Structure 1
Amino acid sequence: MSAIHQHPSHIDRAGELRTNQGTLDTLWQQAKILHITEGRIASVDEKLTFSSALQISELLASGKFTEGSRYFLGLDLDTRAPYFAWDTQWVGEVSDEVKSVGFTTLREIGAELSPMEFELSLHATAISNWHRAHPRCPRCGGPTRVDLGGAARFCDADQSQHHPRTDSAVIVLIKDRDDRILLGHQPVWPEGRFSTFAGFLEPGETFEQCVSREVFEESGITVSEIKYLGSQPWPFPASIMIAFEAVTDNPGVAKGDGEEITEVKWFSRAELKAAAADGSLLLPPTISVARKMIEGWLGESAQGGETWR
């Protein structure tokens, strides 16, 4: 299997501009601004909606949203146009029905976005999740504020600066010597939903050691010939998925651990296509690296997906 196709970045994150608040204020006035609120992104008809600084001011004046925070996302590599995210909340109690008007989640819209819009959405979602989860200093407990255009938080009490964390996780396409792949079912998923195996990196562990450990823990098999395929940001809430393939010589002993994985199945290409076509197999969403890994092995697009739970 070849490496997963990686789109080149369309955004210059321009870290050197983050240190000057005056520069950021000037860029904000010229920017295309992605409104993100409570995990939802501004969009209409499966396309992102970008606002101007004036439109954001009008939204603030309407009283519907809190003042929020500004995050500098970077510059368009071609046009040098600046992009920001405006991260806010609805004021008061608002129904889910109201929240869905003009907004959607990255999970729902991701497959329809252009590579550039997807990149901006991943960045905005990940940084919003981190800021919301880290309002206080881990050293002294004091309140922290947005710093460096959203790239950090700062504690005025002890003068410490804190940076977003990303949790590393491996995701593995397991193959046998007959070039079948092993997929597993998690109990929280609907019946028929199967995917590749994944788990978080532990302290002091290499990615390859993590691959071997997670595969053995979840399926009971040992693997070799571990090869890197690619990576994907996965801000649900704060992960980077590091994709590998690996080969096992003992496919017959594969068995779910009974907790994280309750069922495992081997698939040949013909078996996977038949099961996906008749609806008995539900695959991970098209925006996921798991789906890209499976389709890379399959050699074509697969049917049956878009189920998240």
Structure 2
Amino acid sequence: MELWVPGSALDRVGDARLDPGWVRGLWSGEGARLLRVGAEHRLPLTDEGGLRFEPPAGEFEDQRHLLVGTVDGMGVFAVDDPAVPAPTAVGRFAVTGLGDTERDIAITALALVNWHRVAPHCGICGGDTIVREAGHVRHCPACVRDRFPRTDPAVITAIVDADDRLLLAHNATWDAARMSLVAGFVDAGESLEACVRREVFEEVGVRLAEVRYVASQPWPFPRSLMLGFAARAVSPDIRVDGVEIDRAQFVSRAEYDALLAEERLGTPTSASIAATLIGLWRRGELPL
């Protein structure tokens, strides 16, 4: 099920970006755009809520300017700029009101910038690395090794019981009303399905019967790939871990709607896969 930006017109030009001359031509070409990415995942916005691009200025700097891709053959670039001028919004909220193409651009730009911020040195020898492939590779001259943007896989699961009630959980660090789905990072050597079962049992004490993959979503805050699942609980008995999750409950659709109407439930941002999975459940469309 392809739910993430299916209508995006962004072309990642994976082969063409190997040619530095071609990339420089895009930078100076007609219709090229530059997106500044600020500190704390902030993105510049227009008054209407879209991404605020600017035309590239000066020479292309291959150690600083990052090629996101092309749209209709025109280059889209990003640059790390902690002092990006207002108005801005934190990325996870900024992408909520964007169309598929701008959302794709924003998330890709954030992912690249976040990676470069934390990867200036080689993980093997500690030496300085240099940027290659228009920002998609960092090369260590000493080790003669390439490094690629890191992505951390995490699972998130819409869990229902025999009565088709949805499990909502509250993280101990969240605002009191906020609840969402159980999620967690994949361990080394662990399959996605095994991770779903482990995380759910560790956090809320629920054993799962059927586990089905639904869809994925990049979430570079700072570098996650969220893999969405649907699962059915063996029983509705809950035992929270009391550390990460301090309370959880199964809710019917009517109960969920009532909590929303009474403003007693804080929900995930609409651009998140958590909101997508909850929406599938509310419409009776989870693949179970």
- TM-score, normalised via structure 2 length: 0.92
- Structure 2 equivalent of residue 49 of structure 1: 52
- Structure 1 equivalent of residue 169 of structure 2: 184
The answer on whether the counterparts of 1:33 and 1:50 sit within 8 Å (CA) in structure 2 is yes
- Structure 2 equivalent of residue 36 of structure 1: 37
In the alignment, the residues of structure 2 paired with residue 43 and residue 192 of structure 1 have an alpha-carbon distance, to the nearest angstrom, of 29
- Structure 2 equivalent of residue 87 of structure 1: 80
Task: Give the drift of 1:67.
Answer: 10
In the alignment, the residues of structure 2 paired with residue 20 and residue 37 of structure 1 have an alpha-carbon distance, to the nearest angstrom, of 28
In the alignment, the residues of structure 2 paired with residue 40 and residue 248 of structure 1 have an alpha-carbon distance, to the nearest angstrom, of 38
SS at match of 2:177: coil
Encode CA deviations 1:233-281: one digit per residue, 9 max, x unaligned: 0000000000001001211x21211011000011000000001110111
- Number of residue-to-residue matches in the alignment: 279
> What amino acid maps onto 2:77 in structure 1?
F
The answer on whether the counterparts of 2:43 and 2:94 sit within 8 Å (CA) in structure 1 is no
Distance 1:267 1:4, change over 3 A: farther
Task: Give the drift of 1:4.
Answer: 6.5
- Structure 2 equivalent of residue 208 of structure 1: 193
Task: Give the drift of 1:141.
Answer: 0.6
Note if 1:232 corresponds to 2:217.
Answer: yes
Q: Please point out which of 114, 118, 142 is paired with 1:157.
A: 142
Distance 1:108 1:100, change over 3 A: farther
Encode CA deviations 1:56-82: one digit per residue, 9 max, x unaligned: x49x9xxxxx99711111122xx2222
Task: Give the drift of 1:21.
Answer: 1.2
Distance 1:73 1:135, change over 3 A: same
Note if 1:72 corresponds to 2:67.
Answer: yes
- Structure 1 equivalent of residue 128 of structure 2: 143
Task: Give the drift of 1:175.
Answer: 0.4
- Structure 2 equivalent of residue 10 of structure 1: 9
Task: Give the drift of 1:221.
Answer: 1.1
In the alignment, the residues of structure 1 paired with residue 87 and residue 264 of structure 2 have an alpha-carbon distance, to the nearest angstrom, of 34
Encode CA deviations 1:155-205: one digit per residue, 9 max, x unaligned: 222222111110000000110010001110001100011100000011111
Task: Give the drift of 1:105.
Answer: 2.1
Q: Which runs of 5+ in 2 are unaligned?
A: none
- Structure 2 equivalent of residue 282 of structure 1: 266
In the alignment, the residues of structure 2 paired with residue 260 and residue 211 of structure 1 have an alpha-carbon distance, to the nearest angstrom, of 16
SS at match of 1:240: strand
> What amino acid maps onto 1:144 in structure 2?
T
> What amino acid maps onto 1:50 in structure 2?
F
Q: Which runs of 5+ in 1 are unaligned?
A: 61-65, 91-98, 301-309
The answer on whether the counterparts of 1:68 and 1:87 sit within 8 Å (CA) in structure 2 is no
In the alignment, the residues of structure 2 paired with residue 276 and residue 286 of structure 1 have an alpha-carbon distance, to the nearest angstrom, of 14
